[in-house]
Structure 1
Amino acid sequence: MVQASPLFARPTTTLSAWYAVSIFVVMFGFSFIDRLILSLLAPSIHEHLHISDTQLGILFGMGFGVVYALMGLPLAHLLDKHRRVPLVAAGVALWSLCTVASGFAPNFLSLIFLRSGVAIGEAVLSPAVISIIADLFPRDKRVLPTTIYTAVGAVMYTGALVFGGLMFQLATGMSASLGLEAWQITFVLVGLPGLLLAPLLLLTVPEPVRVGDIKAEEFATVSQAWAYFRGERRLYGGLFLGAAAISICNSAKIAWVPTLLIRSHGMHPSQAGYMFGTVGLLSGFIGAITWPSVVRFWTARGRKDALITVFAIALTISWICFGLVGFMRSLTFLFVAIGIGGFFSAALAVLVPILIQMVTPGRMRGRAMALYLTATGLVGLGLGPPLAALISDQFFKGQFAIGYGLAALIFVTGPFASLAIWSIRGPYRTALDKAEVLEEL
């Protein structure tokens, strides 16, 4: 086990802490670009490598999503035991190399191997960063840097494709002179920045001392980690179950609302993507900034469980709005519902990492974050879209069938998510009291 030493001491200035956050924010942004660029390049890859739509679907799902979810926990175990900054640098280098190499993949099997490498590299980032931020800033200063980091996800989910489009346009102009296809050059262009960021992080950001550790070895083994989660099963069990349930709603919404707009409301695909993406981007970003401020304001006035209360209320309003989308006949009201739902739904992305920082011991934060990402990724992406389609096919007919299927799934799953989160208010208050005592030692 690596012990804290002066060489890897916690940054002593606010400036150095914020410098580290800025590096992580840029890395997180590029992770979305490397993750989503395949969707922009899919037609070209389909044409030149003769890969079917089914195989492209596997590249999105099993090639990335499933690997990303399943690798999170074992990688987080390493992060909680060893120095995190070098592991993050290695992860960034791995996903960037795999992205660059994807431009030279000759077939489907090589692409799925490289996409899995992207997933493994990216699975390191967020569990490590959430843990590191908690050690860079005192308890009362963690909300802002965490909010900025998590808000990048809301922005880059759409912004990544804008940047990717610019790179594809640049690559098209370079194609003839380099003798490569534009999609190949695009992979190289979006992968290269990570190869510069990885050594920059390693050389300029020191490993911070972990905060909230009674003993460095206390949670070193898998059995000790399991014992911790078992002891706090009411807190983490309710949190992860609630997060998984609301992620089923959110994943189904993201997957099928564009189809609903095209099939049921007659929108052109590009118009549907622009409208849905713009409304989601703006509402999500505003929500990501708003909810931590609301929690901070309420907590300062003596509400110990403000974070859980705000989270439960916000996610309840979000799934009600998204469920109503399936019944809407007016596009105006539909986009209003999407915007309101997106604003409240942003609470999931920003409040859960803050919760984990606040109550989880230093050497367990990475694994707690990885379990959360596994619950939302594996369960949400794995069950949400296919279940909505299955309900639609089995029980509804006509042009609005997918909307009814989406609504049915959300109105069944959403209440379970609300109840699960609401049930952890007491365990959260207890865990928060323990964590505050530990950090005072």
Structure 2
Amino acid sequence: MTATTADAPPGHLTGFGTKGYRSYVLTALLIIYILNFIDRGLLSVVAPQMKPELGISDTAFGLLTGFGFALLYTVVGIPLAQFAETRHRVWIMTVCVALWSLMTALCGLAAPVTIGSITLGAFWILLACRVGVGIGEAGCTPPANSLIADYYPPKSRSTALGYYAMGVTLGGLLANLIGGPVTDAFGWRTAFFVLGVPGIIVALLFKLTVKEPPRGYTDPPGAVRKANPKFSEGLKELASKPSFWTMTVAATIAAFCGYGIASFQSLFLNRSFGLTAGEAAVMINAPVALASAFGTLATGWLAEKMSKKNPNAIAWLPGIGLTLSVPFYFWGFTTDNLVFCAIGLCIGGAIKYGYLAAQYTIGQGVVSAQVRAVSTAVMLFVINLLGYGLGPLFIGALSDLLFKMKVADLGAAELTRKMCEGAARKALSVDLQQVCSVAHPESLQQSMLITASFYAIGGLFFFITCRWLQRDMVAKPNG
């Protein structure tokens, strides 16, 4: 069964609802996306205190922050997105926000559990809670993007999506501003309660105040919509859009670098500059997140303003940003001056995070209305499984490998990462403490530098996207 929008109101020009109500809904979606990334990123904020307590390696921490979260997040995301193509998107988001908020709070209860003769360590309990957070968060972005596409017409959608995408960086900002000081004052477990519980209240308010718009409301007149689109049809449509796949490769590489670096940034600051979780969060991570949020919104806004004369700006602007971010990250990770470190990381974040606005604008723009949620889910499946899942794990594993090589070269092969962290380090001899002071920070630093260099490859794929973008676009910014 199909329907056309020939007799529909001019939604492709105005969007759904009044201007004020559209702004309210977009802000509500932004708040939810902020919560999404607060709960997702909090583990990295509390790492300087939590990691020594659990006594885990950098590799295990990378698994906890990355792949442990991303696996079911990506697997569940596609069926949820398919469900969102025909079901009530507001209800889906309400349930999912409540679920991930509850699981975030439960992370604070992670402790060894004995079941019969088997004892599960706190690491495994925390990993199980992180999996639960991932399942809940899988129901956020695909239906949210689909809602935005019905509330906002194509001509203003890149700015709206850029505004929504600020949730990534603002979530990181608030996770640091709130989670860092709470961790220093009350412990890392309390931080999970403080930042997890409010999401349950937000979920209820969202359901009570946000309307489900007619599906395809902003489609151009005469557009054909299928009542029950199949997932295979969505994949078939995506298969004919090379710009979608080159953009996805670019965004995946950017996510691989970004999630990996963000996961270990507090640990880097702790090892290289001796900052506590709260100090790293407030002094460095929060300013970096704020600068990154500005860059995300600015790229979407600038691309929209340039679209008439430069319709491919939404692709080449983030390409430039990713490429130029590399030297600033190198500066930030190699300087011995904390102020210069902050400046380098702030500039790098501001000019590279514009790719978020691009990935959502292109991901939606090249497909018809009925496969927008599936398009977003497929894109996020690749980005999160390979980018978010492997980025932190790569940095952690490479850091541990470099650590073993460095301590062996320094004649202290018996040293482990655990021995160089927390109270355990004070029990070492003076000579071994000196080895720790070199190998412990430098192994992570070099791992971060290697990873940051990959941003340039992501930039290259955004430039390649320009080749097919205008041919593939369905939702023309000026249409």
Identify the structure with the greater helix proportion: 1
Equivalent residue for 1:141? Answer: 156
Q: Structure 2 vs 1, CA of residues 28 and 415 (structure 1 numbering), >3 Å: closer, same or farther?
A: closer
Instruction: Report SS of the residue matched to 2:372.
Output: helix
Label 1:53 to 1:351 Cα distance change in 2 as closer, same or farther (>3 A).
Answer: same
| Matching residue of 1:422 | 463
User: Of the candidates 389, 392, 403, which is equivalent to residue 399 of structure 2?
Assistant: 389
Q: 1:254 aligns with which of 259, 262, 285?
A: 262
Q: Which amino acid aligns with 2:146?
A: S
Within-5 A mapping of 1:298-317 = 298-300=306-308, 302-317=309-324
1:285-328 deviation line (CA, Å, top 9, x unaligned): 2212321222122213x112111121211111113322454444
Match of 1:315, SS state, is helix
Q: TM-score, normalised by structure 2?
A: 0.74
Which of 373, 379, 384 does residue 386 from structure 2 map onto? 379
- Is 1:275 the counterpart of 2:315? The answer is no
Instruction: Find 2:363's aligned residue among 356, 360, 377.
Output: 356
Tell me the CA shift for residue 63 of structure 1: 4.1
Cα distance between partner residues in 2 of 1:191 and 1:51: 21
Matched with 2:301 is 293
Among 324, 343, 368, which residue is 1:336 paired with? 343
Residue pair 1:63, 1:116 contacting (<8 A) in 2 also: yes
Kept after mapping to 1: 8 A contact 2:237/2:367: no
User: Which consecutive residues of structure 2, in runs of 5 or more, have no partner in the other structure?
Assistant: 114-121, 410-437
Q: Deviations over 1:46-84 (max 9, x none)?
A: 99xx96536776553454233323332232222223231
State the partner residue of 2:137.
122
* 1:40-439 alignment runs, 5 A limit: 53=56, 59-101=64-106, 107=113, 108=122, 111-164=126-179, 190-211=195-216, 212=219, 214-217=223-226, 220-232=229-241, 234-264=242-272, 266-270=273-277, 271-300=279-308, 302-328=309-335, 331-381=338-388, 382-383=390-391, 384-386=394-396, 388-389=398-399, 392=402, 400-411=442-453, 413-432=454-473, 434-436=474-476
The 2-side partners of 1:128 and 1:203 are apart by 17
**2:225 match: secondary structure:** coil
Q: Deviations over 1:72-103 (max 9, x none)?
A: 22322222232311111121122233345556
Q: CA 1:235/1:395 → structure 2, altered by over 3 Å: closer, same or farther?
A: farther
By how many angstroms is 1:219 displaced? 7.5
Q: TM-score by structure 1 length?
A: 0.80
Counterpart CA distance in 1 for 2:315 and 2:70 is: 28
For 2:85, what is the secondary structure of its paired residue?
A: helix
Distance 1:267 1:199, change over 3 A: closer
Is the CA contact 1:79–1:366 (under 8 Å) kept in the aligned structure 2? Answer: yes
Q: How many residues align?
A: 420
CA drift at 1:259 = 4.8
In 2: Cα distance, 1:404 partner to 1:118 partner: 31
Could you tell me how far apart the structure 2 residues matched to 1:309 and 1:341 are?
A: 17
Cα distance change of structure 1 residues 24 and 260 upon mapping to structure 2, 3 Å threshold? closer
Q: Distance in 2 between matches of 1:40 and 1:32?
A: 12
Residue matched to 2:421: none
Indicate conservation of the 8 Å contact 1:167/1:190, yes or no: no
**How many Å separate the matches in 2 of 1:262 and 1:102?**
23
Distance 1:308 1:219 in 2: 32
Task: Output the CA distance in 1 between the equivalents of 2:193 and 2:265.
Answer: 32
Unaligned runs of 5+ in 1: 173-181
Q: Return 234-243 or 212-221, whichever deviates more.
A: 212-221
Q: Distance in 2 between matches of 1:144 and 1:26?
A: 16
* Cα root mean square deviation, aligned: 3.9
* Conservation of the 8 A alpha-carbon contact between 2:244 and 2:363: no
CA distance in 1, matches of 2:125, 2:288: 34
Q: Give percent identity, aligned residues only.
A: 22
Classify the secondary structure of the residue corresponding to 1:293.
helix
Change in 2 beyond 3 A, CA 1:58/1:2: farther
- State whether residues 64 and 130 of structure 2, in contact with CA within 8 Å, keep that contact through their aligned partners in structure 1: yes
Q: Deviations over 1:215-246 (max 9, x none)?
A: 433872222122112111x2122111111222
Query: Is residue 253–residue 322 contact of structure 1 (8 Å, CA) maintained in 2?
Result: no
Shift of residue 136 of structure 1? 0.1
Paired residues of 1:255 and 1:385 also in contact (CA < 8 A): no
Q: Structure 1's 183 and 275: CA in aligned 2 closer, same or farther, altered over 3 A?
A: closer
Return the alpha-carbon distance in structure 1 between the equivalents of residues 293 and 40 of structure 2. Answer: 20
Q: Report the CA distance shift for 1:428/1:194 in structure 2 as closer, same or farther (over 3 A).
A: same
* Cα pair distance change 1:210/1:319, threshold 3 Å: farther
Residues of 1 paired with 2:49 and 2:264: CA distance?
A: 24
Residue 94 of structure 2 contacts residue 206 of structure 2 at CA under 8 Å; is this kept in 1? yes
Deviation at residue 276 of structure 1 after TM alignment: 2.6
Code of the residue aligned with 2:56 in structure 1: it is D
